[in-house]
Chains A and B, each alone.
Chain A
Amino acid sequence: MTDFNVALEVVLLLGVSFAPLAAGLALRRKFSPAAQEGAEPAVPTGAQKMGRLAGNFLFWGGILGILFMIVAGINMLGWI
């Protein structure tokens, strides 16, 4: 049971840095300008711009978070 709890905790902790990445990707997709073939893309509304901006923040924040975790791991190994 202890092993299971610790393993679950590891999954959740690792998920912490992947969650904003996934949320950011979803928001970017949801608010991307829907361009139909041949037609000009519609001018995005204010809400769409805000949604995409939030998505970008989360996406790049998530990437930075993962990079940070990698740097912390390398640091612990004494490589830097």
Chain B
Amino acid sequence: MKALRPAIIFLSLALAGGYVSALEPVPWNHKEYSSEFKYFQERAAFTADTWTALGPEAQEKELLEAGQPALDRQEAVRAYYAAALKKWDSPALRDYLANTKETDIKAVHLWLGKEKAAAFSRKLALTHALLKKARAEGLDDEDALALEPHLRPEAIAGLRSLKASAEALKAQTSEKALKGPDSKSTASLDKFAGPDPSKLGADSFSKLYDNMNVSGADPVAAGRGRYGAGAAGSGAAVQFTAPQKKAAFAMPEVRAVPAALPAAQAKSAALTSDAYGITVYSAGGQQPQTFRKGGDAAAAIRKMPDGSITKIIFYGHGAPGTQMVGDFDVDAGGAGEMLKGKLARGGVVQFSGCNTSSIGGATLNPAVGLSMVARRLLYFSLPYFQDRADGVPAEQARQQWDKTWNADLARDTSLNLRGAVVCGYRTFGLVPGRLPGVTRLLGNQEATTPGFVAGKKACYQDGKEVPAQ
């Protein structure tokens, strides 16, 4: 056996060498490895020249490593294409038109071929052109028929009603509408011979009603729009309307909201803060809407179209598992119910309140550590002893508060709002603007957004932590 050993070693080496020398270079774009080469091309990992420069062994290794990711990528592009070619509803239409990039079409071209990329491009071009037309002049039956293979009926109805809504808005602001009803009883008013009513101290009349110094000559300084009903029964029935011009002597429709007035007028002289509110950002770059009352915000959100909210900020005091906005409490279930279907793809829900996320893992940051300690003391130890004083059994009290002191509102809400990014604070969030002296200095007693918050933020999507936004 000893004599055979060198022979066996030699034979093994010869076999290994033979295997290496048997490897042949794989030509660039070889059909057998089409997925892998597409994967390389998409990532610009190699060109034909750099590929050829690799040795057969390195090529084999690269192909082996790219195998699974290439298959995954191919599957993802297939799924993306299948979804893109389905009939879109209104949110999907908005989403695809706003977010589809040249690279997406290129990816379809690379992975699925020229024809499919062309079909996708055609769909995008058609919907884009007809959306533009719908806004400018409205859609006719022929256009609706052309959209039929690409959009769901309600999305087509929504597009068809765009023009009607625009006209309704125009009619509201037309000179005739501002003039008042055209009847005999008002005819004599048209013959008013005096100077322009706005020059007759109309501002003081106006002030009598609402304490605003506005007249017919200037737009009402409400500073923000409001939601009003458009054409009945349309998909886009609710739309954001710009501040309206108000006729002189007319009863004011819109009361000025302190937050919307110019900064100099909105300042308060209060010493302590009463800042809280809900701020809603919607698609299309419109002015955000702010609400002091949670009920008002919930009602306005109900009227908004699906998929239209890009970001919403709940600002106020927070506690584990709950965000308070004044006397309006929001928990994971409530937030899920309030915003279900209303958020745009990748929309952000921000809970700007203390301890609206769990404390997270260990940290070397002493401030975060202190916040953890304070949270445990305030939301476990303190209520535990309160319960004990009320006669609750020790074990029951311990279990109760052990469950809740580290509740994670952001993560739980993200499980209720699939696809949305939900952020909260792992720590107490210190808002300089809330400090008594600073509140007076900034005059922001009733601020509805927090501004700078000193705290550790955490964001979740579908229950998994994602980078903070």
Q: Which residues on A sit within 8 Å (CB–CB) of B378?
A: 72-73, 76
Asked if A71 is at the interface (CB within 8 A of a chain B CB), the reply is: yes
How far apart sit A80 and B432, CA to CA, in the bound complex (Å)? 10
Asked if B377 is at the interface (CB within 8 A of a chain A CB), the reply is: yes
Asked if A78 is at the interface (CB within 8 A of a chain B CB), the reply is: yes
Q: Of residues 62 to 80 in A, which have CB atoms within 8 Å of B's CB atoms?
A: 65, 68-69, 71-73, 75-76, 78-80
Closest residue on chain B to residue A4 by CB atoms: B394
Closest residue on chain B to residue A78 by CB atoms: B317
Binary contact track B318-331/A, C-beta < 8 Å → 1, others 0: 01000000000000
Q: Which residues on A sit within 8 Å (CB–CB) of B436?
A: 80
Closest residue on chain B to residue A17 by CB atoms: B370
Find out whether the CB atom of A2 lies under 8 angstroms from the CB atom of B398: yes
How far apart sit A3 and B394, CA to CA, in the bound complex (Å)? 7
Q: Which residues on A sit within 8 Å (CB–CB) of B384?
A: 6
Asked if B445 is at the interface (CB within 8 A of a chain A CB), the reply is: no
Find out whether the CB atom of B373 lies under 8 angstroms from the CB atom of A2: no
Asked if A50 is at the interface (CB within 8 A of a chain B CB), the reply is: no
How far apart sit A79 and B272, CA to CA, in the bound complex (Å)? 8
Find out whether the CB atom of A75 lies under 8 angstroms from the CB atom of B317: yes
Closest residue on chain A to residue B397 by CB atoms: A2
Asked if B367 is at the interface (CB within 8 A of a chain A CB), the reply is: yes
Binary contact track B446-466/A, C-beta < 8 Å → 1, others 0: 000000000000000000000
- The total of interchain contacts (Cβ-Cβ below 8 angstroms) comes to 58
Asked if B371 is at the interface (CB within 8 A of a chain A CB), the reply is: yes
Asked if A51 is at the interface (CB within 8 A of a chain B CB), the reply is: no
Q: Of residues 330 to 385 in B, which have CB atoms within 8 Å of A's CB atoms?
A: 354, 366-367, 369-371, 373-378, 381, 384-385
Find out whether the CB atom of A68 lies under 8 angstroms from the CB atom of B374: yes
Asked if A16 is at the interface (CB within 8 A of a chain B CB), the reply is: yes
B-side interface residues, number (CB < 8 Å): 28
Q: Of residues 22 to 76 in A, which have CB atoms within 8 Å of B's CB atoms?
A: 61, 65, 68-69, 71-73, 75-76
Find out whether the CB atom of A10 lies under 8 angstroms from the CB atom of B435: no
How far apart sit A3 and B108, CA to CA, in the bound complex (Å)? 64
How far apart sit A59 and B395, CA to CA, in the bound complex (Å)? 38
Find out whether the CB atom of A69 lies under 8 angstroms from the CB atom of B395: no
Find out whether the CB atom of A65 lies under 8 angstroms from the CB atom of B398: no
Find out whether the CB atom of A75 lies under 8 angstroms from the CB atom of B370: no
> A72 with B366: in contact, given A6-B398, A10-B381, A80-B436 (CB under 8 Å)?
no
Q: Which residues on B sit within 8 Å (CB–CB) of A68?
A: 367, 370-371, 374
Q: Which residues on A sit within 8 Å (CB–CB) of B373?
A: 13, 16-17, 69
Asked if B428 is at the interface (CB within 8 A of a chain A CB), the reply is: yes
Partner of A13 from B272, B367, B376, B435 at Cβ < 8 Å: B376
Closest approach, in angstroms, between the C-beta of B373 and any C-beta of chain A? 5
Q: Which residues on A sit within 8 Å (CB–CB) of B430?
A: 71
Asked if B434 is at the interface (CB within 8 A of a chain A CB), the reply is: yes
Q: Which residues on A sit within 8 Å (CB–CB) of B87?
A: none
> A16 with B370: in contact, given A2-B395, A75-B354, A78-B317 (CB under 8 Å)?
yes
Find out whether the CB atom of A13 lies under 8 angstroms from the CB atom of B366: no
How far apart sit A79 and B377, CA to CA, in the bound complex (Å)? 18
Partner of A14 from B371, B375, B377, B398 at Cβ < 8 Å: B377
Asked if B273 is at the interface (CB within 8 A of a chain A CB), the reply is: yes
- Using CB atoms and an 8 Å cutoff, list the residues of chain A in contact with chain B: 1-3, 6, 9-10, 13-14, 16-17, 61, 65, 68-69, 71-73, 75-76, 78-80
Query: 8 extra interchain contacts, Cβ-Cβ under 8 A, other than A6-B385, A61-B366?
Result: A1-B394, A2-B398, A6-B398, A10-B381, A13-B376, A65-B366, A69-B370, A73-B378
Q: Can you list 11 pairs linking A and B with CB atoms under 8 Å apart?
A: A2-B394, A2-B398, A6-B384, A10-B377, A61-B366, A68-B370, A68-B374, A72-B371, A72-B375, A80-B273, A80-B434
- Using CB atoms and an 8 Å cutoff, list the residues of chain B in contact with chain A: 272-273, 317, 319, 354, 366-367, 369-371, 373-378, 381, 384-385, 388, 394-395, 398, 428, 430, 434-436
